Amino acid sequence: MIEVHRVSKVYSVGPVKVPALREVSFRIAKGEFVVLTGASGAGKTTLLRLLYRDDLPSEGDIEVLGYDLVPMRRSHVAALRRSIGVVFQDAKLLPVRTVYENVAFVLRVLGTPRREITERVFDALRTVGMSSRAQAYPAQLSQGSAASRAGAGHREAPAAAPRRRADRQPRRVDGRRDRRGAQRTSGRVARRSCWPPTRPGWPRRSSAAP
């Protein structure tokens, strides 16, 4: 399902080259539940951005759901992102739309019949415990509630995402950053096989992933 082969990513800050990832390789099979851990600055966010093709590696190959991401054309990226779900730390909400309108917007973009939108929006909001805040705006929500709304949006995608990634970076209580982590990902990965890729009630793909 996800295969990363000798991937490196180097950022240029003026004349300085800053390595974020160095020759990272791993394979995640269908049905596995994987947790990526590491110190702040270790490259976790960089790796996730590469997996949904928000950025390209400096070296190496990445394959997700049968898509070869490195040579992929920009016009094909939308098809990849309809097959996966990403829950961002900042929720990515439209600030001038209510909770209901944010979820409905996703459905309209994906071509959901208008007559089905209201029912599906409230079904998703009930699933994440947000139905009572349907008319609230993002500024009126706590960060946790905003993340729940974002999850409701992914809950209603027509093709259920086979894997969800929560890009939430742990913070040190004293605010200090471990600079050594910027040189390489920690490589600590917790795995548990045969974990269902979707929760009960989430829509499932009608056919196997490519």
Tens digit of each residue's pLDDT (9 = 90 or more) over 60-119 = 999 999 899 999 988 888 888 888 888 777 767 888 999 999 999 988 988 889 999 999
Give the pLDDT mean for 115-125: 93
Number of structural domains found in the chain: 2
CA distance 10 to 20: 6
CA distance 155 to 202: 6
DSSP letters for 112-155? --HHHHHHHHHHHHHHTT-GGGTT--GGGS-HHHHHHHHHHHHH
Q: Is residue 210 part of a domain?
A: no
The dihedral through the CA atoms of 55, 169, 44, 63 has a sign that is negative
The answer to whether residues 172 and 72 belong to one domain is yes
- State the pLDDT at residue 144: 60
Predicted TM-score (pTM) of this structure: 0.56
- State the pLDDT at residue 39: 87
Decide: 31 and 195 in contact? Cβ < 8 Å.
Answer: yes
Task: Quote the DSSP letter at residue 11.
Answer: E
The pLDDT-based confidence of 25 (bands split at 50, 70, 90) is very high
Residue numbers of the domain that contains 79: 1-84+161-202
Q: Is residue 96 part of a domain?
A: yes
Q: Is residue 209 part of a domain?
A: no
- State the pLDDT at residue 138: 86
The answer to whether residues 109 and 76 belong to one domain is no
The answer to whether residues 70 and 149 belong to one domain is no
Decide: 149 and 130 in contact? Cβ < 8 Å.
Answer: yes
Decide: 95 and 138 in contact? Cβ < 8 Å.
Answer: yes
